[in-house]
A and B are shown apart, each in its own frame.
Chain A
Amino acid sequence: MREPATVAHTAFVNGIALWAPRIPGWNLAAPVLRGEAAAAHQPAPRPVPAVLAPTERRRAPDTVAIALEVAARACESAGADPRDLASVFACTEGDLAISDYMSEMLVRTPTLISPTRFHNSVHNAAAGYWCIGTGCMQPYTALSAHTDTFGEGMLEALVQAQSAGRPTLLVAYDIEARGPLSTMAHSKGMVGAGAVVSPRAGAASLARIRWRAVHGTRRTAPLGRNAELVAGNAMAACLPFFEAIALEEARTVRFGLSPTMLLEMEFDFPTRNEGSSP
């Protein structure tokens, strides 16, 4: 009665964005991931969430700043209007700075909690600000899956794209842990990963993928030379997706979906002409 656990679908990566302190942007990151250039020595300052009103930009929590940066760049790269895209926001730990603030305030001065910081504490804060800033009324979701957050986020974006037959935006990000919580939730620096995936090729598709969910435990690790670029961040597991695209070589990459399940993505790189026909 069991169907094979290998139903496979085809999707295209129509847009991409990556931000980490020493590779702040895809154009800077791609040659570094290929081993053709060195990463910056100095970490970049926090990105500015330009889709927000000027007064909101500085007050935005780190999760919102990093998520909105890669969301906007991924849409730009795909040539897509943000208002047209349903989105999936994936974050392992949520806003660790606000969790530390809330827990600290609750010990002695709970009635002095800032209402803004409270409503920014929800796991979907970045998604909410993205829709407010861009005027997008398409559905979004926000999820987490501990060490498998990138895999689950990518799976949900691919599933939504396939199911609705239209491009979907994935935004995956984690920030640095603060205070006593940092002894339990381990995350350093700030990493943001964005992609627009679609069942159809776009004008500037970067890759074609065959994807499926398979039983297994062997996740793809970042290449040795690149691992330090995202080391310690809770979203570090995203890097093999970007390495595959930077290298433009056919390869298979696996991300965790749970302790015993994997998202398997076979990348190939048809030429632009081939890529534009489904």
Chain B
Amino acid sequence: MKPLRVTGHSIACAAGIGQQALATALHARASGLRPNDFSEHPLATWIGRVAGVEDVRLPDHLMEWDCRNNRLAWLALNADGFLERAAAVRSRYGADRVALIVGTSTSSIGATEEAYRRLLPDGQYPEDLRRPIVHTPHSLGDFVRAALGLEGIVVTVGTACSSSAKVFAQAERLLELGLVDAAVVGGVDSLCGSVLFGFNSLELVSPDPCRPFDIARRGISIGEAGGFALLERDGERGPWLLGYGESSDAHHMSSPHPEGLGARLAMVAALERAGLTPDAVNYINMHGTASQKNDEVEAQVVASLFPATTRASSTKGWTGHALGAAGILESVITFAAMEMGFAPGTLNARELDPSCGPQIRVLNEAADIRVALSNSFGFGGSNCSLLFGRGRDA
């Protein structure tokens, strides 16, 4: 494929708001996880909660969309100068020539949960939550459309934990066919009862801070995050999207293919689309959720596909698993790694699982990262791998 330039990006996650804050936390190995203080009912686990979401006040003209998920989206839009960059792109190409494609797994279901907690005696929603747009999955896309003043293609992708990786692929196709000249992509997922107690029902949440790839890992730490990226055919600065790969496991709703066939297909397809071989990849940001199955299978596939010189790690010990926002969050981490010349390690891992090859690193390392891969795999067997480059030509 013809590479696309990432001419702007932003991030808000538990480890920091803005790329600089996130990079500082990565360098300092300072985790954003804390004991669960979010759910109404107690649940003994650790979470990646973004500080200050509750205090965000949306501008008056956006109050119809007010809810935790869209407040987190607003935090992310205001980070890293993204609002200004998006406005510049809108005026350069026209509001109808910029696509908006965002991913989320639960969107603003938290508002629906709150309405059920506060139902009036006659079974009606409380008056302040009688806003249909925050009780539909497209709440996120519609909010960002209104916030950025866009007038073109607007869509919300919901493929669980691959959502905000797949948005890059969808945008690339629209640009390639000439339907748009630029795209705003990204994703937002916020803490809510559905995911905390849902993953709890599957016995997938860890009582301790998550320990990706550790032999004694006990499950995931659920996090929240929001992030955005601008994609153009070229621009003055920014990393490049070199390739992407998508596949389906065709195996099970909540468990990966035992040999990682789908994950392998996605990684290979990303390399092929970029015209690169595995030895060109300097760093892989793994899906690495710290669930038993994911880590074992993903580590084996990476060990069989990539040389020992390729560094790989999971950064979920810093941020928690941001679910539908994991794709954009970990894309931004690879941008920071390429820009700042270091490969993050795997926070909280102490003794690596025997399935890990020499690629998986525990410690941070200074490294010249020209090409980086980011893996995102979701429930329903939806896999997406994104390949980024510091330059247009790897």
Q: Name A residues whose Cβ lies closer than 8 Å to a Cβ of B.
A: 1-3, 5, 7, 9, 92-94, 99, 102-107, 110-111, 113-115, 118-125, 127-129, 131-132, 134-146, 148-149, 152, 155-156, 159-160, 162-163, 180-181, 183-186, 213, 215, 257-261
Contact B178 A143 (CB under 8 A): no
| B292-341 contacts to A (CB < 8 Å) | none
A-B contacts besides A129-B253, A136-B248, A159-B174, 10 pairs, CB < 8 Å: A1-B92, A113-B201, A122-B379, A124-B380, A132-B252, A144-B138, A145-B141, A186-B132, A258-B145, A260-B151
Chain B residues, Cβ within 8 Å of A185: 132, 135-136
B234 interface hit (Cβ, 8 Å): no
If the complex has contacts A132-B252, A180-B119, are A94 and B261 also in contact, measured as CB distance less than 8 A? no
Contact B194 A122 (CB under 8 A): no
Count CB-based A-B contacts (< 8 Å).
243
Q: A213 contacts which of B150, B179, B202 (Cβ < 8 Å)? A: B179
Chain A residues, Cβ within 8 Å of B136: 92-93, 144, 146, 184-185
How far apart sit A7 and B379, CA to CA, in the bound complex (Å)? 36
How far apart sit A121 and B198, CA to CA, in the bound complex (Å)? 9
B61 interface hit (Cβ, 8 Å): no
16 contacts between A and B (CB under 8 A): A1-B92, A2-B181, A5-B94, A99-B109, A102-B113, A103-B194, A110-B39, A114-B201, A119-B253, A122-B105, A123-B160, A131-B381, A145-B156, A184-B136, A258-B152, A261-B154
How far apart sit A3 and B131, CA to CA, in the bound complex (Å)? 37
Q: Closest 3 A-B residue pairs measured CB to CB?
A: A128-B380, A123-B158, A139-B246
| B115-141 contacts to A (CB < 8 Å) | 115-117, 119, 123-125, 130-133, 135-138, 141
- Nearest A residue to B255 via CB reads A119
Contact B249 A131 (CB under 8 A): yes
If the complex has contacts A99-B109, A111-B197, A132-B253, are A145 and B179 also in contact, measured as CB distance less than 8 A? no
B375 interface hit (Cβ, 8 Å): no
How far apart sit A3 and B152, CA to CA, in the bound complex (Å)? 14
How far apart sit A4 and B199, CA to CA, in the bound complex (Å)? 47
Q: Name B residues whose Cβ lies closer than 8 Å to a Cβ of A.
A: 39-41, 43, 92-94, 96-97, 105, 109, 112-113, 115-117, 119, 123-125, 130-133, 135-138, 141-142, 145, 150-160, 166, 170, 173-174, 176-179, 181, 193-194, 196-203, 246-254, 261-262, 265, 378-382
If the complex has contacts A99-B112, A106-B197, are A141 and B248 also in contact, measured as CB distance less than 8 A? no
- Nearest A residue to B245 via CB reads A139
How far apart sit A106 and B94, CA to CA, in the bound complex (Å)? 44
Chain B residues, Cβ within 8 Å of A1: 92-93
Contact B158 A94 (CB under 8 A): yes
A90 → chain B, closest Cβ, in Å? 9
Chain A residues, Cβ within 8 Å of B135: 181, 184-185
Chain A residues, Cβ within 8 Å of B251: 132
Contact B113 A137 (CB under 8 A): no
How far apart sit A212 and B119, CA to CA, in the bound complex (Å)? 45
B22 → chain A, closest Cβ, in Å? 27
- Nearest A residue to B261 via CB reads A137
B209 → chain A, closest Cβ, in Å? 21
Contact A127 B249 (CB under 8 A): no
Contact B116 A159 (CB under 8 A): no
- Nearest B residue to A9 via CB reads B177
Contact A163 B193 (CB under 8 A): no
Chain B residues, Cβ within 8 Å of A163: 173, 176-177
- Nearest A residue to B131 via CB reads A184
Chain A residues, Cβ within 8 Å of B166: 141
Contact B137 A94 (CB under 8 A): yes
B222 → chain A, closest Cβ, in Å? 13
Chain B residues, Cβ within 8 Å of A138: 247-248
Contact A127 B253 (CB under 8 A): no
